[in-house]
Amino acid sequence: MIEQFKGKTALITGGMGFIGSNLAIKLAELGAKVTILDAMIPDYGGNVYNVTESDRIRINFCDIRDQQAVNWLVRDQDFVFHLAGQVCHLMSLSNPFPDIEMNITGTAIVMEALRKHNPKAILVNAGTRGQYGPAVSFPVNEEAPTNPKGIYEISNLTAEKIIKVYNDVHGIRSVNLRLSNLYGPRSQMMHSRFGVFNWFIRLAMDDETIQLFGDGSILRDFVYVDDCIDAILRVATTPECYGEIFNVGSDKPITFRELCDTIVRVAKSGRWEFAEFSAERKAQEPGDFYSDISKIERFTGWRPTTELEDGIKKTIDYYSTCRDHYWTKPEKTATAKTAEKLTTATKR
């Protein structure tokens, strides 16, 4: 892999975020010159602590919708890793426009920039397994129907189709990935809206109680972020992958109950309990999901190699050294809790 990226240039949109920052660090290790584009929108995934600028990594703050800046930044890049976007699948229920603007228009801006200013670049796009919508059979392969139940998922599916058209019609080589639920270091830990795995880790580390919605039997295929980075780098450097769509998941699905048990066991703190689905979450919950990952293995030899316990341990180790950069347990929370307890006591 070192030979493939040494001296190469790469633009990472959304590079201050979870996947983008891990990718930037890995690419720099492999000898690439990385440019990060990130809008640092509050409450999104970007965190300045995730990546440090260096002679290998340059950070350019701007929005993916900034057409002139994107036109400029794509020039002379060997690779473009397109990770910027609105990634909360609940927001679109009350406001569909950020998804459309960032995920659809933003993607079109990147593709037009490549068509006009750097048609030889290779683009890898991070889509989501949410694009499938409710699974009709398992494991879900790339030919499965795509009937997503939310604007967020629709916007990702549209981005994928736009990228495919630029591949087929304009010759901009690209690979579209559909990522399952990821976890690991450098994910934002302020809220649970981008995925619950890392949120559960935070709760366990803080010795809090994890609320497990439903009966905990829903199956998911979780992927440790380093495995995902490996998949991204492999498809980027395998010409047979250009123009293709690949699932990036795990063929060892586990239940949320198993997940919580493992997190609490590895963290040696926290606990979990069952909780009722909120109506909002229930409406968006697509049920069991696990990917058929035989296609990407066939094309690139990729398989996830991180065992669940190891991944959780690495994640906890990371945040243990730098928790304050990702979340705090401010005094007022403790105060609020005390107040709540007093109120409850009074009510009794």
The residues that touch a copy of itself, with contacts defined as CB under 8 A, are 93, 96-97, 100-101, 104-105, 108, 111-112, 147-151, 154-155, 157-158, 161-162, 165, 168-169, 283-284
Looking at beta carbons only, is 34 or 162 nearer to a copy of itself?
162
> Smaller CB distance to a copy of itself: residue 284 or 291?
284
CB count within 10 Å of CB 41 equals: 13
Q: Which two tokens stand for residue 55?
A: 């002679």
* Contact in structure between 8 and 79 (CB atoms under 8 Å): yes
Residue 183 designated active-site: no
Residue closer to a copy of itself, measured from CB, 242 or 318: 242
Q: Tell me the closest approach of the beta carbon of residue 115 to a copy of itself, in angstroms.
A: 9
CB of 146 vs a copy of itself, minimal distance in Å: 8
C-beta of 73: minimal distance to a copy of itself in Å?
A: 19
CB 23 within 8 A of CB 12: yes
Contact 37, 83 (CB under 8 A): no
Catalytic-labelled residue, pool 44, 152, 183, 326: 152
Q: What one-character-per-residue DSSP string does 69-112 give?
A: HHHHHTTT-SEEEE--S---TTGGGT--HHIIIIIIIHHHHHHH
Q: Which is nearer to a copy of itself, 7 or 171 (by Cβ)?
A: 171
Q: Is the Cβ of residue 61 or residue 97 nearer to a copy of itself in the bound state? A: 97
22: nearest Cα among 220, 185, 221:
185
Cβ within 8 Å of residue 283, ≥6 positions away: 93, 149
For residue 219, the minimal CB distance to a copy of itself (Å) is: 23
For residues 142 and 147, what is the distance between their CA atoms, to the nearest angstrom? 13
Report CA torsion sign: 256, 199, 81, 6.
negative
In the bound state with a copy of itself, the residue whose beta carbon lies nearer, of 97 and 277, is 97
The distance of closest approach from Cβ of residue 267 to a copy of itself in the complex, given in angstroms and rounded to an integer, is 35
Query: To the nearest whole angstrom, how small is the minimum distance from the Cβ of residue 114 to a copy of itself?
Result: 12
Residue whose CB is less far from a copy of itself, 234 or 295 = 295
User: HSE (CB half, 13 Å, CA atoms) of 131?
Assistant: 26
Q: How far apart are CA 335 and CA 338, in angstroms?
A: 5
Spatial distance between the Cα atoms of 299 and 324, rounded to a whole number of angstroms: 41
The span from the CA of 249 to the CA of 47, in Å, is: 25
Helix, strand, coil abundance in the chain, percent, nearest 5: 45, 15, 40
As measured in angstroms, the least distance from the Cβ of 169 to a copy of itself is: 6
The CA distance from 179 to 247, in Å, is: 6
How far is CA 215 from each of CA 133, 198, 244, 258, rounded to the nearest angstrom? Answer: 21, 20, 37, 12
- Residues carrying an active site annotation: 152
